[in-house]
Amino acid sequence: MALKDFFIYLSENRILNSAAQRYGLRLGAQSVVAGVSIEETVKSIKELNKQNISCTVDNLGEFVYEKSEAIEAKNKILEVIQVIHDENLDAHISLKPSQLGLDIEYEFCKENLKEIVALAHQYNIFVNFDMEDYARLHSSFELLEELNKEFDNIGTVIQAYFFESEELIEKYKDFRLRIVKGAYKEPENVAYQTKSEIDKNYIKLIEYHLLNGKFTSIATHDHRVINHVKAFVKKHNIPNEKFEFQMLYGFRKEMQYDLAKEGFNFCTYLPFGKDWYGYFMRRLAERPQNLSLVTKQVFNK
C-alpha cells in the first residue's frame, strides 16, 4: 500500500477517530489545527487578521451518523457565526454537508444548513460548502442550489481531479467558488489519477473562473500555480476584488504572510475542534513530508 493510501485508510478509520477525540491535539496536529475550543480559535483568527489575512473557519467533524451529532455540529457552527459577528472578525464559515447530516437524511441536512446560512445571512457572513468525496458531490450541489433560492451568501468548491469539473464550473460560474486539486481518493472512472493531468486541469479551471466567474478562491500551496495566477491576473487586468489565495492553517506560513503583504487578498482555512484526526491524516496523505510536523512535535517535548 502506498503511503498516501495508508494515510487515507487511517483517515477513514472510525475507531481511531473516536479514540483520538479523547485526547487533546496530538501527533503534531496542533501545528495545523487552530485549537480545540472556540476561544482558542478566536485568538488564532485575531492573530491572522492583524496580518491582513481573513479566515474561513471549519468546525472539524467526520463520521456523523447520528442526528444528535449533526445537531451538536450545527449548534457549534451557529456559535462561531455569532462570535464572528460579535467580535467583528474578518472571517467566514466553511462546512461539510456530511457533518450536518447528509449521510443520515437529505431533508434533515438541508434544514440544518438552512439555519446556519440564515444566521450568517443576517450578519452578512459568507458560508462555503466544502466538497467531499464523489459519492456526496451531486447531493452537495443540489443542496447549494436549493438554498440559493433563498440565500446568496453561499458558495462551494470545484475539485480539479473530477472529469466533470469543467462542466460544473461552467454551470456554477455565478457562485463564489474555491478551486482545489482534490483531496480524496477517487476511482479511475470519475477522476484523473496523475499529478500532471490534475495540475493541467487545475490551471484551466482557475483561468476560466477568473475570466468568467463571480469570485475565485485559489486554494493551493503550490507556488508554481500561485506564480502562474499572479502573471495571469496581471496580463488580463483582473482586479484584486475578484479573487483571493487560500491556504490551510499552519502550511507555508511565510508565503501566506508574504502574499498578504504583497497586497493580494489572502484567506487562511482554519480548522478547529476535537474531531481533528481525519483532517490531519488527509494532510499527511497529501504530503508525507508533513510527517516532519509529527516528528518535530514528538522530539521537541
Which residues would be at the binding site for ligand FAD (CB under 6 A)? 130-131, 157, 159, 178, 180-184, 219-222, 246-248, 251-252, 269, 286-287
76 is an annotated ligand-binding site residue: no
Output the nine-digit C-alpha cell for 236. 488580463
51 is an annotated ligand-binding site residue: no
E strand segments, 161-294: 176-180, 215-219, 243-248, 266-272
Nearest residue (CB) to ligand FAD, 23 versus 163: 163
Annotation says 133 is catalytic? no
136 is an annotated ligand-binding site residue: no
**Considering the complex, what minimum distance in angstroms separates the CB of residue 276 from ligand FAD?**
16
User: What is each CA distance from 31 to 21, 35, 260, 269, in whole angstroms?
Assistant: 17, 9, 21, 13
**Considering the complex, what minimum distance in angstroms separates the CB of residue 85 from ligand FAD?**
22
**Considering the complex, what minimum distance in angstroms separates the CB of residue 22 from ligand FAD?**
27
Q: Is 130 exposed, middle or buried (0-12, 13-18, 19+ CB in 10 A)?
A: buried
283 is an annotated ligand-binding site residue: yes
Catalytic residue among 130, 222, 224, 252: 130
3-class state of residue 13 by DSSP: coil
Annotation says 224 is catalytic? no
**Considering the complex, what minimum distance in angstroms separates the CB of residue 44 from ligand FAD?**
15
Does residue 141 contact residue 131 with C-beta atoms inside 8 Å?
Answer: no
Nearest residue (CB) to ligand FAD, 176 versus 181: 181
**Considering the complex, what minimum distance in angstroms separates the CB of residue 195 from ligand FAD?**
7
Round to whole Å and give the CA distance between 239 and 115: 33
50 is an annotated ligand-binding site residue: no
Nearest residue (CB) to ligand FAD, 120 versus 179: 179
35 is an annotated ligand-binding site residue: no
Nearest residue (CB) to ligand FAD, 116 versus 247: 247
Round to whole Å and give the CA distance between 227 and 122: 37
195 is an annotated ligand-binding site residue: yes
Rg (CA), the chain: 18
β-strand pairing of 127-129 with 91-95:
parallel
Nearest residue (CB) to ligand FAD, 107 versus 293: 293
Residue-wise over 268-284: b if at least 16 C-beta within 10 A, else e? Answer: bbbbbbbbbbbbbbbbb
Catalytic residue among 178, 199, 252, 275: 178
User: What is each CA distance from 10 to 27, 77, 120, 282, in whole angstroms?
Assistant: 13, 26, 34, 9
Going by the annotation, the residues of the binding site for substrate are 96, 282-283
Going by the annotation, the residues of the binding site are 96, 131, 159, 181-183, 195, 220-221, 282-283
Which residues are catalytically annotated?
130, 178
Going by the annotation, the residues of the binding site for FAD are 131, 159, 181-183, 195, 220-221
